[in-house]
Chain A
Amino acid sequence: MTTETILQFLGLVVVASPAILLAALGLPLLAGIKLSEGSQARLTKASVVFALLAAIAILGLMLVTGLRNVPIELGNWVSIEDGHEHFHFHIKFVFDRLSVPFAILSLVLCGTVGAFASVYLHRENGYRRFFFLYALFLLGMVVSSLAGTIETLFFGWELVGLSSALLVAYFHERPGPVRNGLRVWSTYRIADAAFLIAALTMHHLTGAGDFDGLMGSGPWPNGVANIGSWQALVIGLLLLLAAAGKSGMVPFSGWLPRAMEGPTPSSAVFYGALSVHLGTYLLLRVSPLLDVSLPLRIIVIVLGLVSAIFGTLASRVQNDVKNALAFASLTQVGIITIEIGLGLQYIALIHMIGHACLRTLQLLRAPSVLRDHQMLEDAVGEHLTGDEVNPPKVSTAFELWMYRFALQRGNLDAILDDWIVRPFRKTFEYADSLERRWTDFLSGDNSRESDRVPPYSDSLEDVV
């Protein structure tokens, strides 16, 4: 058995394990079979451990043999080949210096959070739902990390987006988490649209979605982009928009605190550690584009800088620990983006891994820290405050303005609402009213039955 065969096999195990987990948790849901909490936890553990061991083995083999780029071709998922017409959906995974650490990071953090969640959510109503969405997320992360073509990356990217939005709305009997889930989903979809357009543009420029075609044949991060400066700028800006949406960078930062409505384990691994880094991971993957276009590089640095400053301001005035951590994450994501813009890819990768681990620990510890703090206060018999250490001082007008700005999170949500959402709604509501007038005119009276039929009338419950 050659090294190549072993690597191929191990690569398949890394990708197949989460896919099998998803099937193992999803099919019983569909068939109406209730798996016990223990079974679900064991399945999750087994899947993560198999994938992690295989990923570590690949890393070991790559280090021993000196291989820096191991492509795993699964062939064409869909292929149309007919004269001048051709369409391919090529499935390819790449194990290199970027994808292997990120995949291992994803598996370690997902494994940790899976173990934590199996206890934390014990006897919760949504236990099965959580683990199903967790499996969807895990598969999405693994596929995104290892994707060798932009289509494969898009596939994983979408899975991550859906599972994240549904997990934000995990406590779905309250309207707050649901509204926040919808907000997250809407932001993600805008980012996804940008991603899809970038993928199409890339297809038209290079004739394929393979990263090798775009970034040259050199292993990451030494690839040289095969496209012109303007083309790199267009694709790069679209991908930057996608990354900004996924990582909650300015102006999309509004979803970050909203995402904290979900259960702590999902907040920790998804929005504190992995989801927020997926955007920067994408930027790292396409970092050779920055070498071709200086304006793109400058825009990336500026966006990172603005996000970092905004994150640090907002995190200092939050009055709950999860939100403070969310904005602190944004600060670090901003700095990582600056590092990418400056061409410090390895530093950015190390920063990303370190930050993800630290933030997961902090978020998982957050609920028990509060409890420990309260227990300590009970034991001491008085409130433990930092007032004596940091006594209040007279603030200048500028400081007050900054405080308000940070407290209102830069009014980013309000700006998006006022400038995008509201005009959009107004326009279509106006169109709706025009349609109503037209159908009323044709009917000769009120044409809308739905105006007259109140909800919940004539229901089965009423009939029974």
Chain B
Amino acid sequence: MSELHLPWLELSVLLPLVGSIWVSLLKNRDQARTHSIVICGLTLLCAVGEWFDFSSLGTFEAHDHWDILQMIFHRDVFVIDELSAPLLPLGALLYLTTVMTTLRTKINRFSFGWTLISEAILLATLSCRHSWMIILLLTVAIIPPFIELRKRNQNTRVFLFHMGLFVLLIITGQLLVPDNASAANPPILAGCLLTAGALIRSGICPLHCWITDLFEKATFGTALLFVTPMTGAYAVMRLVFPIAPDWALQSIAILSLITAVYAAGMTLVQRDSRRFFCYLFLSHSSLVLVGLEMAKPIGLAGALCVWLSVGLSLLGFGLALRSVEARTGRLSLDTFHGLFEHTPFLASMFLLTGLASIGFPGTIGFIGMELLVEGAVEVYPLIGLAVVVAAALNSIAVIKAYFHVFSGKRHTAAVSLGCRPAERITILIIVVLIIGRGIIPQPGVQSRYHAARALLDHRNKKDEASRNKHTNYETDHTPLGQSQSTDINHE
């Protein structure tokens, strides 16, 4: 296996982990915030370094240089491949921007220590390919939001019910997966259980209510950090994709498509801004799943592109909404708030990121969405058009929310509601990424297409290996092949 030039992966995980302990010891919340920003910034640097280093290697997968974990456990714990390489910087950026845009008025209720721990867990999950390790990390990731809900004296039953079911299904499913499982030799029951678990984590209808509940009860930042990295989709790719046959994946795609349209419709009737965001996110993450499950290069490439574009754009969108909420409190979408004159920067970011998420021309999401639609129509000519319907509904919802939050009346503010420097920097970073990748999409698309092909080839190779093993096994059990099988067993 290829080796990175530095231990980027271990550093990316270790930095926030150690940082969380350090930050928890600090009594001064302002200091804790500043230190968290520095730690998240360094983590992002490591994640970006990993991505560039990996890209320069031109390989499908790679592990760390000076891999300490390998020396201890004698196996590659942290390995990245074409799927996860860009997801690490995206995850690190998510944490950095969220911490940076946390206003001083909110620092007492936002736990920086737990945030850094969840960053370490997320980056470890994305750096990991071993099934049981992923399951363990996905389970541990539930703890920080749960603790926050308990601290806020919120009812945790909905969250616990869904997450408990997720853990139960995914562990049972993985226990039932045989060693030689592949798409050609799929373990049906195990596959179903794993799929059900991953779909709960992804918020597929009708098991999505925990996400709306989390957004209602947790702080916006925590909910955003738990949901936006789309770890459910990652679980699908790591646990289900390699062992599920095409027909099963495409059936899941239809379920995801129904969720995408349903959630898009629900965005239009929401009265609370957080619930609105939640459904908007659900619709988009379901669209990503639609493409992932197509198991066709174009659709899969589209999904991988949309994964990044939606991750980035809805991160910006969520942060814009969070920043507005930090100034005004919970926003109702029943009335107009007219905040444009006070926060033109946030308004522009809200609009731009919202448009990017729906794949508006010239933004990062445009080509990805085109590829996704193309891939969906290729597999299901008529049903695939539902992707277009979902995108249209989402776009109406985005502009509706923009109008309700930023226009419709003249808002009188007692204090300045303008952007703080940290927020302004965050906005600029996200805008540059959204427009830059939108104007020059070829490198990103090429890289994601390459990743899609590599993932499919990898899956096919596993199929072939499994078939060969199966054939050998059958030969082994024929009376004439007795001596031959003995040789193979020796091998």
The docked-state distance in angstroms from the alpha carbon of A438 to that of B161 is: 12
- In the complex, whether A394 has a CB less than 8 A from a CB of chain B is no
Partner of B328, one of A428, A439, A453, A459: A459
Segment touching A, from B34-42, B168-176, B367-375: B367-375
Q: Are A461 and B209 in contact (CB under 8 A)?
A: no
- In the complex, whether B338 has a CB less than 8 A from a CB of chain A is yes
Distance from B338 Cβ to chain A, minimum over Cβ atoms (Å): 6
CB nearest to A438 among chain B residues: B209
Q: Return the CB mask of A117-156 against B: 1 if under 8 Å, else 0.
A: 0000000010000000000000000000000000100110
- In the complex, whether A395 has a CB less than 8 A from a CB of chain B is no
- In the complex, whether A463 has a CB less than 8 A from a CB of chain B is yes
Segment touching B, from A9-17, A188-196, A222-230, A331-339: A188-196
* Interface SS, A side: helix
Q: Are B392 and A192 in contact (CB under 8 A)?
A: yes
Q: Are A428 and B361 in contact (CB under 8 A)?
A: no
Chain B residues lying within 8 Å of A439, measured Cβ to Cβ, are 158, 209, 212-213
Given contacts A203-B374, A428-B266, contact A455 B330 (CB under 8 A): yes
Distance from B349 Cβ to chain A, minimum over Cβ atoms (Å): 10
Partner of B441, one of A78, A427, A449, A450: A78
Chain A residues lying within 8 Å of B65, measured Cβ to Cβ, are none
Q: Are A447 and B328 in contact (CB under 8 A)?
A: no
Given contacts A82-B297, A456-B328, A460-B103, contact A444 B407 (CB under 8 A): no
Within 8 A of A (CB), among B325-359: 326-332, 335-336, 338, 340-341, 345, 348, 355
A interface residues, tally (CB under 8 Å): 69
Q: Are B105 and A463 in contact (CB under 8 A)?
A: yes
Q: Return the CB mask of B416-454 against A: 1 if under 8 Å, else 0.
A: 010000001000100100000000011001100100010
- In the complex, whether B26 has a CB less than 8 A from a CB of chain A is no
Q: Are A172 and B340 in contact (CB under 8 A)?
A: yes
Q: Are A29 and B414 in contact (CB under 8 A)?
A: no
Q: Return the CB mask of A153-173 against B: 1 if under 8 Å, else 0.
A: 011001100100100010011
Segment touching A, from B45-53, B115-123, B224-232, B395-403: B395-403
Segment touching B, from A108-116, A175-183, A259-267, A289-297: A175-183
Chain B residues lying within 8 Å of A78, measured Cβ to Cβ, are 367, 441-442, 445
Partner of A162, one of B338, B360, B441: B360
The docked-state distance in angstroms from the alpha carbon of A89 to that of B341 is: 38
The total of interchain contacts (Cβ-Cβ below 8 angstroms) comes to 180
Q: Are B158 and A173 in contact (CB under 8 A)?
A: no
Q: Are B209 and A435 in contact (CB under 8 A)?
A: yes
Size range of the interface on B? Answer: 35 or more
- In the complex, whether B298 has a CB less than 8 A from a CB of chain A is yes
- In the complex, whether B408 has a CB less than 8 A from a CB of chain A is yes
- In the complex, whether B31 has a CB less than 8 A from a CB of chain A is no
Query: Chain A: residues with CB nearer than 8 A to chain B?
Result: 29-30, 32, 77-80, 82, 85, 87, 89, 125, 151, 154-155, 158-159, 162, 165, 169, 172-175, 178-179, 181-182, 185-186, 189-190, 192-193, 196-197, 200, 203-204, 424-425, 427-429, 431-432, 435, 438-439, 442-445, 447-450, 453-464
Query: Chain B: residues with CB nearer than 8 A to chain A?
Result: 103, 105, 154-155, 157-158, 161, 209, 212-213, 216-217, 262, 265-266, 268-272, 274-275, 297-298, 301, 326-332, 335-336, 338, 340-341, 345, 348, 355, 360-362, 367, 370-371, 373-374, 377, 381, 385, 388-389, 391-392, 395-396, 399-400, 403, 406-410, 413-415, 417, 424, 428, 431, 441-442, 445-446, 449, 453
